[in-house]
Amino acid sequence: MIPYLGGRLVVLAVTLFAAAAVVFLVLDVLPGDPAALILGVNARPDTLAALHHAMGLDRPAAWRFLAWLGGMLAGDFGDSFTYHVPIAGLIADRVGVSLPLALLAIALSTAIAIPTGVFAAAKRGKPADTLTMAAAQIGVAVPNFWLGLLLILVFSVKLAWLPASGFPGWAGGIWPGLRALLLPALALALPQAAILARVTRSAMLETMGEDYMRTALAKGVSRRAALWRHAVPNALIPVVTILGLQFSFLLAGTIIIENVFTLPGLGRLVFQAIAGRDLIVVQDLVVLLAGSVIVVNFLVDIAYVLIDPRLRAQGGR
């Protein structure tokens, strides 16, 4: 396990460095001057030069790259051009929205998808299966922003149960925060659940055809017990793989949902920072997101070991 972890850490470091170098280069060649964006169309050249100097943009690119990397290694993520505050605090605030949102969405989607997938597999070919899979097909096709708007119209505008947008923060207690995240989490979870349910169903069908299932049934184990005891655990590996992919997607890919619900999360920060050429914020976020994808993949690998006794045996050797 230790050499395995060590290898993973090296991969992590190399990947992060590569991500940092690539994003810095891309932003450097991308047209658009952050100072020009701040000062607008009436700015005089000397004013632009003064702002370039104040922002450190008059220094060579190599110097800026090394200063940024050095700062990050020392724990200094730099200051935002837009908000004029340290980026570490900015990101920490946003993680406080995006991470609970992603976790809630994953929890909801898993809670909906796995029982649905198992149910559909158990009823294979019957009307219940056809109906469930038709619903899942619709779920896959529905874009999450449209679903988000629909949920707002029903639960906020019509029923007035939940807020239409915004996030009150966690300072006022768990419940107000959770209330604000419920609709966006649902909008994110349903399309994901549809995909996950289909994966669960096909994985289940595959395991249900295995010899050990026939053996279990021949031994006189009830169909239901055989399903939960033997088929479900064996079907979990592809399901966990998809879950891992979905989590990375959720963490970074909530841009649209965060815009629809006006949530101050990471996705919106990335979007605003790119449009506003808040260069260091973009750089920091890319490195952070790349790092989190790697960490999630690592956790998925550990989950395989926990689920699959064969891998456990190899790891212990």
Partner 1 sequence: MTGWARLGLGIAGIVFACAGPALAQAKDTLTLGMVLEPPGLDPTAGAAAAIREVVYANVFEGLTRIDGEGHVVPGLAASWTMSPDGKTYRFALRPHVTFHDGTQFDCAIVKFSFDRARAPDSTNAQKEIFEPIAAIDCPEPETAVITLKRPDADFLYGLGWGDAVMVAPQTAAQNQTTPIGTGPFRFTRWVKGDRVELARYAGYWGQAARLSAVTFKFIADPAAAAAALLAGDIDAFGNFPAPEILPQLRADSRFAVVIGATEGKTLLALNNARKPFDDIRVRRALAYAIDRRALVTATMSGAARIIGSHYTPNDPGFIDLAATYPYDPARAKALLAEAGIAPGTRFTLALPPPPYARRGGEVIAAMLQEVGLNVDLVPMEWATWLDQVFKRSDFDMTIIAHTEPRDLAIYARDHYYFNYHNAAFQSLFARYRETTDPAAGIDLLRQMQRQLATDEPNVFLYVLPKIGVWNAHLHGLWSNDPIPANDVTGVYWGN
Return residues touching partner 1 (CB under 8 A).
Answer: 30-34, 36-44, 46-47, 50-51, 53-54, 81-85, 90, 93-94, 149-150, 152-154, 156-158, 160, 163-167, 169, 259-262, 264-265, 268-269, 272, 275-277
Cβ 260 to partner 1 shortest distance, Å: 5
Beta carbons of 94 and 289 less than 8 angstroms apart? no
Q: Rounded to whole angstroms, what are the CA distances from 124 to 15, 120, 152, 196?
A: 43, 6, 35, 17
Q: ∠ CA 254-193-157 to the nearest 5 degrees?
A: 60
**At how many degrees (to 10) do helices 174-208 and 232-252 cross?**
140
Cβ 97 to partner 1 shortest distance, Å: 8
Q: Which CB sits closer to partner 1, 247 or 261?
A: 261
Q: Which CB sits closer to partner 1, 9 or 92?
A: 92
Nearest-angstrom CA–CA distance, 43 and 56: 18
Beta carbons of 38 and 25 less than 8 angstroms apart? no
Q: Which CB sits closer to partner 1, 86 or 291?
A: 86
Nearest to 266 by CA among 251, 246, 276, 284: 251
Q: Which CB sits closer to partner 1, 104 or 281?
A: 281
Cβ 281 to partner 1 shortest distance, Å: 11
Cβ 286 to partner 1 shortest distance, Å: 17
Q: Which CB sits closer to partner 1, 45 or 220?
A: 45
Q: Which CB sits closer to partner 1, 95 or 217?
A: 95
Cβ 92 to partner 1 shortest distance, Å: 11
Q: Which CB sits closer to partner 1, 5 or 30?
A: 30
**Adjacent-strand bridge partners of 86:** 79
Nearest-angstrom CA–CA distance, 2 and 180: 42
**Adjacent-strand bridge partners of 79:** 86
Beta carbons of 192 and 246 less than 8 angstroms apart? yes
Which residues have C-beta within 8 Å of that of residue 216, sequence separation ≥ 6?
A: 226, 229, 230
Cβ 137 to partner 1 shortest distance, Å: 22
Cβ 79 to partner 1 shortest distance, Å: 10
